[in-house]
A and B are shown apart, each in its own frame.
Chain A
């Protein structure tokens, strides 16, 4: 499996587990605010968890305008 796909799948797995949403209901191009029913503070909590999992530091300004899992994965992939 290409690294990018693995990163994306891990993000979807972590997001589903953190916000108790069935994994099969999440797709790469979903708006994660809507799909997870989260607000901006909860999005930061997801970011914290992703940073720990991937052992990266992702400044939140890089996420400005980012709301889908695929682009989020690209931003994280760029730091791996």
Chain B
């Protein structure tokens, strides 16, 4: 299928480039709907890869790329189930999202995240599976999970450790602070910073350049340059699920979901 229109994501294959648009209001929170559609994309990739050399993720929403996991859906789900069943559901969700992220990470396509505005938590983790991140000047990145008593659960720490220096990783995770595109480029997270509204155009131009190279060679280079930390990713699921079992996390989620504070996203 060279094109798909979903409720959370849509994609289209044109001139060897798969463009995946995120468009779930209010800010591309990743919940069960997004996961199902990302799984559909992941299972469609082997066929798409026969006709493509690059894949671009971008957001059609003004707020930004993605605010991360859908904490409201998560909290409602936890409330609606027995504790044991809720924790089992959480583990299943994380195993499924890891499978999807690992599929994108391992794809022989060259993958690009074209980001702007909010790139938080799971949204940042989706960017991290991509080979290149192109950010416009409005982009703001953050791993705020520690505020909730958890750690990033969609592969964040293992992929940060793969890509960045460990001191930087500790700073970003342990302080939970947000940072702009210039800082993201300084620490090596972002490969290009562009003017407001230009990320997708530059990503398309980059993808067009990538199309000039032999695919087998490009895929071999990617595999060599970007090993996937499978053991640590599996460990992450265990640690996240263990942390979710703490009553403090449920209390923190409740506080976040029910907050009328004007600054719930500020750590």
B-binding residues in A (CB < 8 A): 33, 39-41, 43-45, 47-49, 51-52, 57, 59-61, 63-64, 67
Given A41-B27, A41-B63, A67-B262, the answer on whether A60 and B177 have CB atoms closer than 8 Å is yes
Is the pair B180, A41 in contact by a Cβ cutoff of 8 Å? no
With a cutoff of 8 Å between Cβ atoms, the chain B residues found around residue A63 in the complex are: 266
A-binding residues in B (CB < 8 A): 27, 63-64, 67, 117-118, 137-140, 142, 175-183, 261-267
With a cutoff of 8 Å between Cβ atoms, the chain B residues found around residue A48 in the complex are: 137-140, 180-181
With a cutoff of 8 Å between Cβ atoms, the chain A residues found around residue B67 in the complex are: 41
A50 to chain B, nearest CB (A): 10
Is the pair A44, B182 in contact by a Cβ cutoff of 8 Å? no
B45 to chain A, nearest CB (A): 31
CA distance A33 to B137 in the complex (A): 22
B172 to chain A, nearest CB (A): 11
Given A45-B138, A48-B138, the answer on whether A57 and B264 have CB atoms closer than 8 Å is no
Contact of B118 (CB < 8 Å), options: A41, A52, A60, A67: A41
CA distance A59 to B176 in the complex (A): 10
30 intermolecular pairs with C-beta atoms under 8 Å apart: A33-B262, A39-B262, A40-B264, A41-B67, A41-B117, A41-B118, A41-B265, A43-B262, A43-B263, A43-B266, A44-B178, A44-B265, A45-B117, A45-B138, A45-B140, A48-B139, A48-B180, A49-B138, A51-B182, A52-B137, A52-B180, A57-B179, A57-B183, A59-B175, A60-B142, A60-B267, A61-B176, A61-B177, A61-B266, A64-B263
CA distance A48 to B261 in the complex (A): 21
Given A41-B27, A41-B67, A44-B118, the answer on whether A51 and B263 have CB atoms closer than 8 Å is no
Q: Is the interface of A mostly helix, strand, loop or mixed?
A: helix
CA distance A41 to B263 in the complex (A): 8
Nearest A residue to B177 via CB reads: A59
Nearest A residue to B67 via CB reads: A41
With a cutoff of 8 Å between Cβ atoms, the chain B residues found around residue A59 in the complex are: 175, 177
B261 to chain A, nearest CB (A): 8
